[in-house]
Structure 1
Amino acid sequence: MNAPVRTSGGAAAAEAGVFRAGGGTGPERAGAWWRKHGLWVVAGAALAAVTVAGLLAASLGGRSTQPLSITNPAPDGAQAAASVLRGQGVTVTATDSLESTLKALSANGTGATTVLVYDPMSLLQPGQAARLAGSAQKSGAALVALAPGPLAVQKLSPEISAAGTAPAAAAGSPVAAGCSNPDAVAAGALDVRRVDGIGAAGNPSPLLYRGAVTCFAPAGGTAGFMAADSSGGVTVVGTPAVVSNERLASQGNAALAFRLLGSRPHLLWYTASLKDVPAASHPPTLAELTPRWIFPASAWLLLVAVIGMLWRGRRHGPLVAEPLPVVVKASETVAGRARMYQDAHAQDTAAAALQRATLTRLAQRLRLGSNADPSAVVEAAAAHTGRPEQQLEALLLTDIPFNDKQLLTMAAQLAALEEEVAPR
């Protein structure tokens, strides 16, 4: 059902609900957007500022947040042990890759270095562990490994093997040395309680080992928290928290840590990182990255979809048009269509609808019939109003607005034309 468009300007058109260009002026749109999103913008900017400030403070302060880092003063760091060792004249150097560790090891000279190895994410491959052990043996360096994995510990020393994890009861109370190793005897007993953030990613519990010399074994056990080879060149400690800031001063942890790490003038504190992951010889292809099950699963799902379409699709016939069980007011229909045209920025479609409706109403008022040719309606309207025929032809047939303002102007002109042709 078509209703005449009557307006005396933009405000009248908006009140009539026919068509309305939304948004207002630029400052009004900006103000509305800020009222809606301003809180989130301010919160995001504040969060970004705090994050950047924290990163800058950490970088300028030279501190690390990595577990057992010699520049980390947190409970899970090892800054205290490194500071004490430096105070005793030991040069402590942090390394984060096997290559830099081997380079520093060869530069320090024969028999002058202790290498501490900590690989919490098990990044070192067995071949890399064997290479490190071989270089340490060649240069006469002492090797101390904190909680190495089963494969890595075999490559560090064939005399040492992994014996699983410690039971919860054994890891909660001090453990006596129980061996003749001078470093273990000097420590007396260890506090093997774990510290949050320290340990293997999948299993942070302390580890047990067996070796030529096994120390700090839980009651009734044959494996201990510390094991060494017969030469004393390789020592593994199953509880990395021994050297942490939180546990260093507990029981005999400090004595064991300083005797193992401070017996030589140089200490390389090596923490394995992603730099130790060997680069692939060529970028992986899509087929290599795709799981093997994806292709049969996709084929199966496609087959099921086809069967489902054949099963259900054949039961439905053509669409049947049914009358709506409600009656909608003409003004609501016009306003709803106008809002849809506005959201889609379809000024040409809205203009064509207005022109068709005006032509229909003019044909009725000029007694030409609802099926009259548009050119005949234009000619009759020109004769009735005295306007130039070309002007009316452009307004009713050919003009296309390019923005909301031009569309509102056209609507006002069409309404004025209908007013002129209206029967007196």
Structure 2
Amino acid sequence: MSTDSPEAAVAPDGTGEQVFHADGTTLGQRLAARWRKYRFWIIGAAVFVLLSLLAFLLNDSGNRSIDALAINNPAPAGAQAAASVLENQGVDVTATKSLAETTNALAHNPYGSSTVLFYDPRNILSPQQVSELAAAVAENGAKLLAITPGPLTVKSLSPELSSAGTTAGIQQVAAQCDHPDAAAAGSISGGAPDPALDAGPAKGPLMLFKGAQTCFSPEAKAGTSSGGLLASNSAGDITALGYSGVVNNHNLAQAGNAALTFRLLGSKPNLLWYTSSVSDIPPAQNPPSMAELTPAWMFPAAAWLMLVAVVGVLWRGRRNGPLVAEPLPVIVKASETMAGRARLYQDARAVDTATRTLRHASLTRLARALRLGHAADPSAVVEAVAGASSRSSAQVHAILLGEAPTTEKDMLRIAADLAALEEEVARR
């Protein structure tokens, strides 16, 4: 409540009763004050909620992946189409994210019932880990298809396989070998360029391999003996494919890509779709110390910043003069003090305290106006005011010494009655 001199207005019903309006008493004024005070946090919270909602909608329930050749990625570079078709044909497709998870799944599946698709685009696995995967595949009578393995990786999978370099992108290349799956496919294609893929599906480089059986050689027509995009060992259980576009969603329907994919991956009832991840990185034997983790430039930079800070303190400290003494007591306007106390009462919603202050001030002014002295008893002031006005003693007592109000509306009514009573006594 503000005790600044409120403006009195005549009531609209024409009765002449004074109506007082205080600061911040209406709902609109309170809401406007809270908006000015908390608008930064309100706007920030609204922006956060909006961005979270957009992220949730764009993520589409959080069950889709953006990784290349992921079985739950419907984008052109994903492999959801191939995985869905294989599942519809009765193949149990399981995605694994680590070597330990893959070998554990192999051990739990029946002997000879599993195919492993191995995709390590970032070459996370070491040659020892690749050899461990190949040993687990051989031990469980499974088959393995490695998608674009590196030179060290393909050598660790089988000594019969080796890297033969790379080639540029292809449009379509024939099998030209006796491998049953490659012969059934006839040819594979890179498809038409797709702007959704960074390098385009028909662009390279594509990896070439040599093995006991080598198929899809782009340069076979030229009479060279270079490797092909597909190579297998003599047992046929380890196969390397040098072009991931054969399996992805964008190119699966091109030429014989689907036939080759489904024959290589759907020959057994269980398919483990293994994509390497950071879980395959072995932990360090000894945790690094703080000094090893700290960059080499940290200590020189810290020393330089400390020197700059000291120079800045000396520079600014020399410019500051002595403290200036201010004469006391400080004189403050009475209106400012009154307004400050009123706003404190308003913030604390101290209706009873504010009303008691108003009544005490009115009693003091009325006693002075009626020449009763500042120490006059309140009941004597009430009787003197009743005699000097047209009101009864009960009415004057209710205004000056009545019960404390519980709402701001009641307090404003009492303030109006006090002002009217003082004005009536002053006019006598």
Shorter-chain-normalised TM-score: which range? 0.5 to 0.7
- Distance (whole Å) between structure 1 residues aligned to residue 188 and residue 287 of structure 2: 48
Q: Deviations over 1:100-119 (max 9, x none)?
A: 21122122232222111112
Q: Deviations over 1:191-227 (max 9, x none)?
A: 135875699xxx9843222223222222246122112
**Conservation of the 8 A alpha-carbon contact between 1:74 and 1:245:** yes
How far residue 156 of structure 1 moved from its aligned partner, in angstroms, is 0.8
Q: Indicate whether 1:82 and 2:80 are aligned.
A: no
**Conservation of the 8 A alpha-carbon contact between 1:75 and 1:245:** yes
- Name the SS for the 2:209 alignment partner: strand
Distance 1:86 1:48, change over 3 A: closer
Distance 1:128 1:52, change over 3 A: same
Distance 1:74 1:39, change over 3 A: same
In structure 2, the residue matched to 1:108 is 109
Which structure 1 residue ranges, 5 or more long, are not aligned?
Answer: 1-8, 12-24, 311-315, 322-348, 359-394, 396-403, 410-424
**Conservation of the 8 A alpha-carbon contact between 1:76 and 1:198:** no
2:326 to 347, 353, 358: 353
Residue type of the alignment partner of 1:281: Q
Identity of aligned residues (%): 40
How far residue 136 of structure 1 moved from its aligned partner, in angstroms, is 0.8
In structure 2, the residue matched to 1:271 is 275
- Distance (whole Å) between structure 2 residues aligned to residue 256 and residue 36 of structure 1: 59
1:246 to 243, 250, 253: 250
- Distance (whole Å) between structure 1 residues aligned to residue 118 and residue 110 of structure 2: 19
Q: Deviations over 1:319-376 (max 9, x none)?
A: 799xxxxxxxxxxxxxxxxxxxxxxxxxxx99x7362777xxxxxxxxxxxxxxxxxx
Which structure 2 residue ranges, 5 or more long, are not aligned?
Answer: 6-28, 333-338, 345-428
- Distance (whole Å) between structure 1 residues aligned to residue 30 and residue 287 of structure 2: 50
Residue type of the alignment partner of 1:31: W
Q: Indicate whether 1:211 and 2:211 are aligned.
A: yes
- Distance (whole Å) between structure 1 residues aligned to residue 273 and residue 138 of structure 2: 17
How far residue 90 of structure 1 moved from its aligned partner, in angstroms, is 2.4
Q: How many residues align?
A: 309
- Distance (whole Å) between structure 2 residues aligned to residue 40 and residue 217 of structure 1: 59
Distance 1:210 1:289, change over 3 A: farther
Q: Deviations over 1:210-269 (max 9, x none)?
A: 223222222246122112122222111111121112111101101111111112222211
**Conservation of the 8 A alpha-carbon contact between 1:67 and 1:197:** no
How far residue 304 of structure 1 moved from its aligned partner, in angstroms, is 13
Q: Indicate whether 1:223 and 2:221 are aligned.
A: no
Q: Deviations over 1:28-49 (max 9, x none)?
A: 5532245566555423321112
- Distance (whole Å) between structure 2 residues aligned to residue 144 and residue 103 of structure 1: 18
In structure 1, the residue matched to 2:61 is 58
Q: Indicate whether 1:70 and 2:71 are aligned.
A: yes
In structure 2, the residue matched to 1:154 is 155
In structure 1, the residue matched to 2:237 is 233
Once superposed, what is the RMSD of the aligned Cα atoms? 4.5
- Name the SS for the 2:274 alignment partner: strand
**Conservation of the 8 A alpha-carbon contact between 2:166 and 2:206:** yes
- Name the SS for the 2:249 alignment partner: coil
Residue type of the alignment partner of 1:298: P
Q: Deviations over 1:136-177 (max 9, x none)?
A: 11222111001112222111112222234322xxx1411222
How far residue 51 of structure 1 moved from its aligned partner, in angstroms, is 2.3
In structure 1, the residue matched to 2:173 is 175
Distance 1:157 1:320, change over 3 A: closer
Work out which of the two has the higher radius of gyration on C-alpha atoms and give 1 or 2.
Answer: 2
Residue type of the alignment partner of 1:355: L
In structure 2, the residue matched to 1:298 is 300
**Conservation of the 8 A alpha-carbon contact between 1:91 and 1:267:** yes
Determine which structure has greater relative contact order: mean sequence separation of CA pairs < 8 Å that are 6+ residues apart, divided by chain length.
1
- Distance (whole Å) between structure 2 residues aligned to residue 304 and residue 88 of structure 1: 67
- Distance (whole Å) between structure 1 residues aligned to residue 137 and residue 100 of structure 2: 13
**Conservation of the 8 A alpha-carbon contact between 2:190 and 2:254:** no
Distance 1:250 1:320, change over 3 A: closer
Q: Indicate whether 1:30 and 2:34 are aligned.
A: yes
Distance 1:37 1:112, change over 3 A: closer
Q: Deviations over 1:43-75 (max 9, x none)?
A: 3321112324555x424xx54443222233332
- Name the SS for the 2:67 alignment partner: coil
In structure 2, the residue matched to 1:313 is none
**Conservation of the 8 A alpha-carbon contact between 2:167 and 2:204:** no
**Conservation of the 8 A alpha-carbon contact between 2:164 and 2:208:** yes
- Distance (whole Å) between structure 2 residues aligned to residue 210 and residue 356 of structure 1: 98
Q: Deviations over 1:269-297 (max 9, x none)?
A: 11222222222334321222235x547x8
- Distance (whole Å) between structure 2 residues aligned to residue 190 and residue 231 of structure 1: 23
In structure 1, the residue matched to 2:265 is 261
